[in-house]
Structure 1
Amino acid sequence: MTTKSRATGNIAKGTPFSSRYAAAETLVRLQQSKLPLKPLFDSVTLEYQITGAERGLAMNLVYGVLRRREYLNHLLSLLARKPFQQLEPFIHATLLVGLYQLFCLDRIPESAAVNEAVNAVKKARPGSHLHGFVNGVLRSATRQKEQLPGPQDRYPDRRPFLNHPGWLTKRWIKQYGRQEMERICAVNSLEPQLVLRVNTGTVSKEHYLKQLNQLGINATSGSYAPDSVVLWDFQGAVTALPGYQEGYFQVQDEAAQLATLLLAPFKESGSYLDCCAGLGGKTGHICQLTQNTTEVVAVEPEKHRQNLFHENMVRLFPDRNVALYPMPLEQFARDSESKFSGVLIDAPCSGTGVIGRHPDIRWNRKKSDFKRYQQTQSKLIELASQLVAEDGILVYATCSLEPEENRQVVDHFLLEHPEFVLCDCRDTLPEPAAKFIEDKCFCPRPSSSIDGFFAARMQRKN
């Protein structure tokens, strides 16, 4: 998937493309297409042959600019005579990338940040004089750095840099109050920590922690989920971590790990269904929590995700027979004659609880998206409920903070289905997670230790 931007029209030949060029180009294409960031970034770096450390830097720059966009645009408004809204998209993006390096990173020399920005413009706009404009703005920024606000400072009227669209922050003020809204926005502007779920059927968490620390990797036990490990400030490739090929771990935030626990207690000869399996994170966790005598089934309609699902299952559970049905849930529910002891539906959603990990979400979502997602979610929970056996458990989950996608979906479902009763999530979660229970549901808000999430546990009456 490649969406060409206007920045690629007059590319100068000869010199190779840089990480700064790729970062600016990704930001332009993102603004124009509103496509998901990760596949878009992958297509840009593949197109311009950005690999290794340069690719890592490009990703750092893109994600960093998106997390600090409001602040960086404010700097630009103080430095450039022309309003940033009137700048040509590639020039605007290049300046944001340059300012991010100058004001938010401390390991990149100022000269490198400025020179690479100038070279990127020369590459994209040969023969123009726009590189002089970019050079002037960034040189001025280096001279005035002490007088300009830092990323943790505020506007002159003391308002904080929220780095989120106004319509979204207004929603969160109504839901949580201004102080909590500002806290969520601040957390979303930080780089999140890498969290793993140790595959305890292969290696103990204590042994794996010891192995990581012996290699100089700063890792500790997580705060809430029993098999979680947090890697502080890890910047390398996940595939390079010890035990990756051996299936020692899966990348998964603590909130998602806790959601799978809501299917408990697991029956030794039971059957469990992951309705929206994706890459297999929660399917793998179900396998980890159950015996080989337990049937585990997954449904995933998207081809690319199916391939990654199989790769993860082979790596983590080579001896486990997990049936993956490559079809929409509607087709599976229509064709299946089975009823399951536990059904988990991690429904597609707006993702406002994981904006810290996916910073493009804040800029790509619209107010109308929540009702649109709700319609899909209501259909999926209806289909999932048809597959729950008597006395079986239905877990509905999203990584959204919005009531339209969470409690409203559950309340409407329960109103239409009196055969299901809402259970208290507190009864199946570890004690440290009890603080995240509200009205029986599991709903942590984003923090430095956990993603924003929602899950409800329902049981079908006999």
Structure 2
Amino acid sequence: MKTTTTTKTRNVREVTLDILLQIEKNQAYSNLLLNSAIKHHQVSSIDVGLLTEIVYGTIQRKLTLDYYLSPYLKNPGKIEDWVVILLRMTLYQMHYLTRVPDRAAIFEAVEVAKKRGHKGIASMVNGVLRSVQRAGIRPIDCKDDMEQLSIETSFPLWLVKRWVGQYGLEETRQLCEATLQHPISSARVNRSIHSVDEVLKKLADEDIIAQRGELSVDSVTIDKGNFIHTTAYQEGFLTIQDESSMLVTRALGIKENEVILDSCAAPGGKTTHIAELLQNTGKVVAVDLHEHKVKLINEQVARLNLSNVETLVMDSRKLLDHFKKETFDRILVDAPCSGLGVIRRKPDLKYQKNEKDIKALASIQSTILESVVPLLKKGGTLVYSTCTMDKEENDEVVERFLESHPSFERDRELIERLPNKIRGNAIYKDGQIQILPHHFGTDGFFIACLRKRV
């Protein structure tokens, strides 16, 4: 007889601890681990929200939580990693989640400690958490402003110092504080076949409370419900995308019948936006190095019923071997980057990156730009974008490119293709904008528009 096995449903705190431990030890991505764990451990729909909140919240506030715990841990270096994480995630519930009573959070932590360790560890966990409960949360008091900001917003000190040098203390404070807020759930309407109002009505018919986005003309934002489970999504009415990301494609200034290159295209959000703006004319060539990522692009193209997308598995730095010079009217280089602009959605990134990573990425970004330049027609437009906020990956890459390519100039008409709200709110200069998370409540994004002289 054939037997079947089922995955045992586990306590939500145990699953949370496993996820956080994997992120800490293996630098695994929180969003991927979370989705996998929910399926694997059969987490109930009731508990999914709590699991998600504790996982992301504990990561977001890691340095702050460690500061609060430090007076109660005499020899932290001798405490096993899982115990520290258990204390951290429990304190997060006690301090930041009003709907979880302290006694319930502490009880659950002690029970997990008993299962995973022994009575001694359970007693220590109980003692530390009870001590914090009795004494209350101590105020953060650092002599140095940047160290204070680092602990308050749980950003590594090296990154705070770096951004203070680039943006100043107050702008950096607002930037860091904004990343601690929940991200806005937004989607791009396929306006080549449906208006925003039509999509809003269709969503309302499915009990989704949504409204027009505040930044992009192509966007809707959700107040209640989930886009993914709607027929509007399944039938290609919309695509999940952050509003600041939607501005990248608008920056290209697309006209019908053009041939456009998206040189770093996966997972396909900007590729499909380009195709929609072409109104089923012309062609967009979407390139990515990895076959499994190109598959994701093709899936989106099929869902949206687009007929003007050609995908290609290739290193963008070798495209000149595949295409003739001056093949494309417009080129988008949405370059691989540190991703620091999406920390709200992927909080683990801020602990995994370092200054060497940023320098290495800046070199790759410059190389990609150099490689695709010959493919652009005279008079054509090149848009360089990243979902990060570091000037070494953004401003400095563009400056170096312009210095070595006198045939290019900044496209000062960029501002005319973007929403009026950009003026006076984002950081704009000479054909480029830097959007920081606190400007519009979106992801951080950099967009530079360059034109090849005729």
Residue by residue over 1:413-440, the C-alpha shift from the partner in whole angstroms, topping out at 9 and shown as x without a partner, is 1121111111122132222223322232
Say what the alpha-carbon RMSD is for the aligned residues: 2.4
Following the alignment from structure 1 to structure 2, what is the Cα–Cα distance between the partners of residues 184 and 84?
31
In the TM superposition, what whole-angstrom CA distance separates every residue of 1:153-206 from its partner, at most 9, and x where no partner exists? 643879451210001111111111111111111111111111211112233212
Say whether the 8 Å CA contact 1:344–1:394 is kept in structure 2. Answer: yes
Residues of 2 paired with 1:24 and 1:205: CA distance? 41
Q: Who is 1:260 aligned against?
A: 249
| Contact map agreement 1:67 1:190 (CA 8 A) in 2 | no
Q: CA deviation at 1:16?
A: 4.3
> Which of the numbers 25, 30, 33 marks the counterpart of 1:32?
25
Residue number in structure 1 paired with 2:419: 430
For the 8 Å contact 1:192–1:356, the answer to whether it is kept is yes
Match of 2:159 in 1: 168
State which of 219, 227, 233 in structure 2 corresponds to 1:228. Answer: 219
Distance 1:83 1:272 in 2: 59
Deviations 1:121-173 (CA, angstroms, capped at 9, x unpaired): 23322x452122222323344444xx325xxx643879451210001111111
CA contact 2:234–2:303 (8 Å) conserved in 1: yes
Name the CA distance, whole Å, in 2 between partners of 1:212 and 1:16: 33
Cα drift, residue 15 of structure 1: 7.4
Asked whether the 8 Å contact 2:388–2:444 carries over to 1, the reply is: yes
Q: Kindly provide the CA deviation profile for residues 354-405 of structure 1, in whole angstroms up to 9, marking residues without a partner as x.
A: 2222111111111111110011101111112122112111101011111111
Aligned residue in 2 for 1:293: 281
Correspondence for 1:155 among 125, 135, 141: 141
Letter of the aligned partner of 2:278 in structure 1?
T
Provide closer, same or farther for how the CA distance between residues 110 and 211 of structure 1 changes in structure 2, counting only shifts above 3 A: farther
Match for residue 123 of structure 2 among 127, 132, 157: 132
Change (3 A) 1:214 1:75: farther
TM-score, normalising length: structure 1: 0.88
In the alignment, the residues of structure 2 paired with residue 135 and residue 227 of structure 1 have an alpha-carbon distance, to the nearest angstrom, of: 51
* Residue pairs, 1:29-428, within 5 angstroms: 29-45=22-38, 48-50=41-43, 52-78=45-71, 80-125=72-117, 127-144=118-135, 147-149=136-138, 154-155=140-141, 159-160=148-149, 161-213=152-204, 217-232=208-223, 234=224, 237-241=226-230, 243-264=232-253, 266-316=254-304, 318-337=305-324, 339-424=327-412, 425-428=414-417
Indicate how the Cα distance of structure 1 residues 84 and 219 shifts in structure 2: closer, same or farther if over 3 A, else same. farther
Q: Distance in 2 between matches of 1:361 and 1:15?
A: 31
The AA in structure 1 aligned to 2:319 is F
Paired residues in the alignment total 438
On the 8 A contact 2:275/2:308 being kept in 1, the answer is no
Distance 1:253 1:319, change over 3 A: closer
Q: Which runs of 5+ in 1 are unaligned?
A: 1-13
- Tell me, yes or no, if the aligned pair for 1:209 and 1:219 is still in contact at 8 Å: yes
Contact in 1 for aligned 2:183/2:345 (Cα 8 Å):
yes
Task: Please identify, of 106-115 and 49-58, the stretch whose mean Cα deviation from structure 2 is larger.
Answer: 49-58
CA contact under 8 A between 1:325 and 1:332: conserved in structure 2? no
Kindly state the Cα deviation for residue 112 of structure 1 after the two structures are TM-superposed.
3.3
Deviation at 1:118, TM superposition (A): 2.3
Deviation at 1:261, TM superposition (A): 0.7
Q: Distance between the aligned counterparts of 2:205 and 2:132, measured in 1? A: 42
SS of the aligned residue for 1:138 comes to: helix
- Name the aligned partner's letter for residue 307 of structure 1: K
- Distance 1:369-1:51 versus aligned 2 partners, 3 A rule: farther
Which whole-Å CA distance do the structure 2 matches of 1:322 and 1:421 have between them? 29
Task: Kindly indicate whether the alpha-carbon contact (under 8 Å) linking 1:277 and 1:299 is maintained by their aligned counterparts in 2.
Answer: yes
8 A contact 1:344–1:396 mirrored in 2? yes
Given that 1:223 and 1:449 are in contact with CA atoms closer than 8 Å, whether structure 2 keeps it comes out as no
1:439 aligned residue: 430
TM-score w.r.t. length of structure 2: 0.89
Q: Which is further off, 396-405 or 443-452? A: 443-452
Asked if the contact 1:21–1:94 (Cα under 8 Å) also holds between the matched residues in 2, the reply is no
Contact 1:77–1:83 (CA under 8 A) maintained in structure 2: no
Rounded to whole Å, the distance in 1 between the matches of 2:86 and 2:445 is: 34
Answer yes or no: is the 8 Å Cα contact 1:222–1:230 preserved in 2: yes
1:282-326 C-alpha deviation (Å, 9 max, x unpaired): 01111111122211110012233222222211111x242411101
Contact 1:164–1:362 (CA under 8 A) maintained in structure 2: yes
Post-superposition Cα deviations, 1:57-94, rounded to whole Å, max 9, x if no partner, equal: 3232111111111221122124x242545421101111
